[in-house]
Structure 1
Amino acid sequence: MSVIAPLHFADAREAADLAAFLGRLLRYDRAAAVRLQAGGGALAVFGRPPSFEVLAIRTARLADVVELDVTVSAGELLEGIEESAGKAVVPGAVTGPPWAGVLPPRGGWAPVEGVPGAPALRAVVAAAVAEFRARDQALPQERRNRAERDRIGRDIWSRTVADTGLPLRAVHAAQSLGFLPPHEVPVSLLAAGPWLRLRTPYGSVALRTTPTLTLTPS
């Protein structure tokens, strides 16, 4: 088995940010795998947190031009990150989950109109969480089970944001993974074929969908 050279980040903060992302991902799945793609001095890390049904994408700048495409354990990658040194030891490859073979396209993205700003998106998520809790508490004892809670969750998180076709679960995922921090950040929504991508400076979430979209010429 070939040995992959350590990745050296352009800035130690890149290593810290990647470590934070992996830590959040592992809270949802302790056995999570991530796919790494590096090229042109940049690294893209793809993960799939359970229940959100989206792909999470975190990018980082590298100090060297490295070509890499491998699926690894998220936990082992986190253990191999040396934040103070700004580098990461890439663990051995693992058999990737099915999602790792179907990634969003690298190009061809066009802006989608109508996405609210970060404060409005966080407010929508907060309202949805409050609604879920209220509906859960209103359930009679005999119906307070996993199946009923899943039904309520599907009803709430499948709703779309404004007229964008973006499911609310994607915004919830972005906030849960630290891509929508509690301060003002630029937010954009992009589309490429059947894919939608909600992007902030902290990361992106992407999903396959087939809504009717209004695009803005780039």
Structure 2
Amino acid sequence: MTVLHLADETEAADLAAFLSRLLHYDRSAAVRLQAAGTALAVFGRPPSFEVLAIRAVRLAKPYEDGLDVTLDVTVSAGELLEAVDEAAATAGVPDAVTGPPWAGLLPPRSGWQPEGGLPGADALRSLVSAAVAEFRSRTEELAAERRTRAELDAIGRDIWSRTVGETGLPVRAVHAAQSLGFLRPGGGAALLSAGAWLRLRTPYGSVAVRRAGLGSFGLSVR
């Protein structure tokens, strides 16, 4: 098994935490790994949020056990989590799996430009809290016979598809960032754009989404 040497125990712990959160939303989650130089990018797609989540991990050794120039493979998130050794700051790369459609369709690597209008991280967390409270309030007000999956989904779409100010970033992207541990107290947040993509970036990870949503997958293969 190819072994990746991570920069330190903290990087290993953060990777394990990210994988655990993805698995919370999808027990059969897959992740795409791309390593080049001393950086490992881990891509996942928590289904509840319809976004791409990206966790960057620093590597101590870029290549190990036959890794050629780059590593680019889709693997089971659960198997990767089991192969993370936090004390040794290593991660074994599991066998490749047949990835879901999104794994072959990633945001561009370059060309990102800063976008204005994004509130600060504290305001973003408050926005998510207010949205969650509104969802609970509206669903609790429903009569028992109307509390169907379709009705709950409709309320969710109404709330989470709203945009953050004039940015075009859907609130669900901010919710995803917070739920995945990217939007932490004391950490900043920035909004970037590249073509049809928007990216909410924090020191702990990024969430990328197409302006019209990910459902169409009208993307370029990477």
State TM-score, norm by structure 2: 0.91
- 1:36 and 2:33 equivalent? yes
**Which whole-Å CA distance do the structure 1 matches of 2:186 and 2:90 have between them?**
29
SS of aligned partner of 2:186: coil
Structure 2 partner of 1:52: 49
**Which whole-Å CA distance do the structure 2 matches of 1:149 and 1:192 have between them?**
33
Q: How many residues align?
A: 207
**Which whole-Å CA distance do the structure 2 matches of 1:176 and 1:70 have between them?**
25
Alpha-carbon distance change, 29 to 210 in structure 1, aligned in 2, over 3 angstroms: closer
- Aligned mate of 1:190, from 167, 189, 192: 192
SS of aligned partner of 2:11: helix
**Which whole-Å CA distance do the structure 2 matches of 1:191 and 1:154 have between them?**
23
Q: CA RMSD in A?
A: 1.1
Q: Deviations over 1:70-118 (max 9, x none)?
A: 0000000000000000000110000000000110110000000010001
Structure 2 partner of 1:216: none
**Which whole-Å CA distance do the structure 2 matches of 1:196 and 1:184 have between them?**
23
Structure 2 partner of 1:70: 73
**Which whole-Å CA distance do the structure 1 matches of 2:62 and 2:93 have between them?**
15
Structure 2 partner of 1:205: 207
**Residue correspondence of structure 1 range 1-150 to structure 2 within 5 A:** 4-66=1-63, 67-150=70-153
Shift of 1:65: 2.4
**Which whole-Å CA distance do the structure 1 matches of 2:183 and 2:62 have between them?**
29
What one-letter code is carried by the residue in structure 1 that aligns with 2:149?
A: R
What one-letter code is carried by the residue in structure 2 that aligns with 1:192?
A: A
Q: What percent identity do the matched residue pairs reach? A: 71
State TM-score, norm by structure 1: 0.93
Q: Deviations over 1:105-144 (max 9, x none)?
A: 1000000001000110000000000000000011111100
Q: Deviations over 1:123-182 (max 9, x none)?
A: 00000000000000111111001110000000000000011000000000000000012x
**Which whole-Å CA distance do the structure 1 matches of 2:135 and 2:8 have between them?**
40
**Which whole-Å CA distance do the structure 1 matches of 2:209 and 2:103 have between them?**
13
SS of aligned partner of 2:55: strand
Structure 2 partner of 1:214: none
CA contact (8 A) 2:197 2:208 kept: yes
Structure 2: gaps of 5 or more residues: 64-69, 214-222
Alpha-carbon distance change, 29 to 113 in structure 1, aligned in 2, over 3 angstroms: same
Q: Which moved more, 1:75-84 or 1:201-210?
A: 201-210
Structure 1: gaps of 5 or more residues: 212-218
SS of aligned partner of 1:63: strand
